Amino acid sequence: MLQIRKEFRREYFGFCDISPRAFYCSKWFNQRSFFVAYRVAIFTYCLVWAVTNRMYYSYSYPESIAVAFLSNWAEWLQTFNFGILFLVSVYGLVCAHVGTSDHEGILRWFHQMSWMLQTMSITGQYVVTVMYWSTVSSDDTTAMAVVVHQHAINSVLATIDLMMCGIPIRLLHFIYSAAFGLFYIIVTLTLHGSGTQSEFYMGVLDWKDYPGQSVGICLGVLLIGTPVLHCVSYLVYLLREKIKELVGGGEAKSEKSEVVEADAELLDVGERDHKYNL
C-alpha cells in the first residue's frame, strides 16, 4: 500500500528516483555486454517484422494508408523504442569501459526520453492487442503471421522487455500513453477532414457513418482503457520487483540505492582496468 501511495507524488509525473544503470543492465544480471546483445536482438527482430509488415500490406492492400491504423503506429513505436533503448545501452557499456560514473547517476535527456517511449510503447501494445481481438478480428485474418505479430506478439515482447529491464513503471505516466492515443485520434480526424479516409476500423471507428459511436469509443479508450491497461503494466512491474525480492532474499532495496551501489561497483572495476592498462 505504501508503494502505491508513493506513486502519486507530484514529481512522479516526471522521471526521477532511478539511476542511469536501470537503462544499461537487466534486472536479473549486471553484465552490460549481455544486455546490449539482448537489446540488439529484440530491436533487430522488431525491425525485420516492421519492414516485412509494411511490404506485405503495400503489396496486398495498395490502396491502404499506413498512418491510418493504430496497429501500425504501435509497431513503429515499439521498434523505435527498442532502437533508442539499444543505443542507450551501448552508451552505458562505453561508460563502463572508460570508467566514468555517467554524471554521478543523473538521468540525462535521452534516459528520460527512452523511459517515456518505453511507457508509451508498453501500454500502446496492450491497447492494440485488446482492441483488435475484442472488436475487429476475423477468421479470415487471425491466422496470418503479420496479424499475429502486430496484435499478439507485440504485447508478448512488451511484457518480456518489462520483465527483463530495470526501468520502473510509474502510475502517473499513463498521461504519456494517453497522449499517444490522442495523437492517433488527431491523425484520423485530419485524414477524415481532408477527405482522404473516414473509415478506419469497420463498425468501430468511422467518422463519416458513425461519428457519435467513434467519439464514444475514442473517449472510452483514452479515459478508461488506457489507464486500466497502464495499471496492468504497473502490476507486471510489481510482479518483477516481487520476484527479484524473493530470488534475492530479504527485503528489496529501493530502486535508487540498488542501482547507485551497482554503479559504484562498476566504476571501481573501470578504474582498476584503467590502472592496469597504463
In this prediction, residue 273 has a pLDDT band, given cuts at 50, 70 and 90, of very low
Give me the domain span that covers residue 14: 2-269
276 domain residue, yes or no: no
pLDDT digits (tens, 9 = 90+) for 19-45: 999 999 999 998 999 999 999 999 999
* Per-residue pLDDT at 59: 83
196 domain residue, yes or no: yes
pLDDT digits (tens, 9 = 90+) for 187-232: 999 999 999 999 999 889 999 999 999 999 999 999 999 999 999 9
Indicate whether 265 pLDDT > 50: no
Concatenate the DSSP letters of all residues of 162-206 into one string. HHHS-----GGGHHHHHHHHHHHHHHHHHHHHTTS--EEETTTEE
275 domain residue, yes or no: no
* Short-list 153, 177, 185, 174, CA closest to 70: 185
Number of residues that this document lists for the chain:
278
**137-163: average pLDDT:** 87
Share of the chain above pLDDT 70, in %: 85
206 domain residue, yes or no: yes
**158-183: average pLDDT:** 96
* Per-residue pLDDT at 276: 33
Number of domains in the chain: 1
Least confident of 130-144, 157-171, 246-260, 263-277: 263-277
Place of cell 530491436: 43
pLDDT digits (tens, 9 = 90+) for 58-91: 887 777 788 899 999 999 999 999 999 999 999 9
**225-247: average pLDDT:** 95
277 domain residue, yes or no: no
**98-113: average pLDDT:** 80
* Per-residue pLDDT at 255: 53
278 domain residue, yes or no: no
Indicate whether 105 pLDDT > 50: yes
274 domain residue, yes or no: no
Contact 116, 110 (CB under 8 A): no
* Per-residue pLDDT at 251: 43
Long-range contact set of residues 142-150: C-beta below 8 Å, sequence gap at least 24? 146/49, 146/52, 146/53, 146/56, 146/57, 149/49, 149/53, 150/53, 150/71, 150/72, 150/74, 150/75
